[in-house]
Amino acid sequence: MSSAPALVMLAHGSDHPAEEEVARDLSRRLQTLRPGLSINLAFLDPGTPSGEDEVNRLVAEGFVEIVFIPLDLARAVEPDDAATALLARVREQHPTIKITSSRPIGPATSLLSVVDERLRAALRATHTVELDGLVLSLPQAGDARGNALVARRARQWSNHHKLPVVVSVADGSGPSPASAIAALRAQGRRHIAVGSLFIGETSAFSLQAEQSRTAGAVAVSAPLGADDRVLELVMARYSYAAMEMLDDEALGAGGDLDTLVGEEPSDPPSDEPVIVHGD
């Protein structure tokens, strides 16, 4: 058995099987890439295995250190209430085991490259040859730092493609895709595409895609899926959290806020333009 802490990716359960399957694909791929680590997956309700079941199994196997990695693209500092409550429960159930959570994977710069790739595929499929506006769509709003980073990502995406970008969220906590498209239309934009910052095809993803097309979007990108750049973020979060387990002062010794909460080195968006020409 590895002496390193067990890694448990923590995903929100879904009523859409495709969402859970993406999480399982991520777990399988990471285990292949990191055979020396114990890579595991747990779901917040609904979904199996639960976080409690996965911790119980790992403790029975002899692990004394466990790191949860929340697969949350909107939050950048603290896990959401459901993940925080899970962490409190398993710590209470296993007081002699070191159990921690990393910060969520968050809206990292590297994910813009994945959104670009998915959106180019959607544009080719619809033979779209012109764009004059973009929407960056997320499942939900995040914490304060996450929302600030999403706004920064939107500016980066806008500057990279020299097109206006409006952010939308699918859970009603902010502008809907339809209202984001309407805002761009009010600026005189008519050829608008939607980039989806979702991991998998949840019911929320399907709803925002339907709303976007009804509002006149020329294309909607597929979710990120089990992409290696998502796995790189998972490993970066795990490394920080495992280091902190070894030495509680390791991350408090210095560094600016971006280093500590959201800005690990990552590749910039691809230089290939998002606008493609039809056949």
Residue pLDDT, tens place only, 178-213: 999 999 999 999 999 999 999 988 888 999 999 999
Whole-structure pTM value: 0.85
Look at the chain and report how many structural domains it folds into.
Answer: 2
CA 8 to chain centre: 15
In a domain, 257, yes or no: yes
In a domain, 272, yes or no: no
For the record, the structure tokens of 63 come out as: 């692990």
CA distance 118 to 232: 18
Q: Does the structure show a pLDDT above 50 at 103?
A: yes
pLDDT of residue 247: 66
Lowest-confidence region among 76-80, 168-172, 236-240, 270-274 = 270-274
Instruction: Supply the range of the domain harboring residue 129.
Output: 110-220
In a domain, 268, yes or no: no
Outline where DSSP puts E strands in the chain.
Answer: 6-12, 39-44, 65-70, 98-101, 133-138, 165-169, 192-196, 219-220
Same domain, 116 and 214: yes
Same domain, 216 and 127: yes
Mean pLDDT of the chain: 88
Same domain, 204 and 234: no
Same domain, 116 and 133: yes
Q: Does the structure show a pLDDT above 60 at 127?
A: yes
Same domain, 48 and 184: no
For the record, the structure tokens of 235 come out as: 């490993």
Query: Taking residues 67-95, what's their average pLDDT?
Result: 95
In a domain, 273, yes or no: no
Same domain, 208 and 238: no
Return the SS3 of 120. Answer: helix
Query: Taking residues 74-92, what's their average pLDDT?
Result: 95
CATH of the domain at 186: 3.40.50.1400
pLDDT of residue 47: 79
In 3D space, the residue among 146, 139, 185 whose CA is nearest the CA of residue 166 turns out to be 185
Same domain, 20 and 119: no
Q: Does the structure show a pLDDT above 60 at 264?
A: no
Contact in structure between 18 and 201 (CB atoms under 8 Å): yes
Query: Taking residues 46-57, what's their average pLDDT?
Result: 92
Query: Taking residues 242-246, what's their average pLDDT?
Result: 88
Same domain, 116 and 216: yes
Stronger pLDDT, 91 or 275, i.e. the higher one: 91
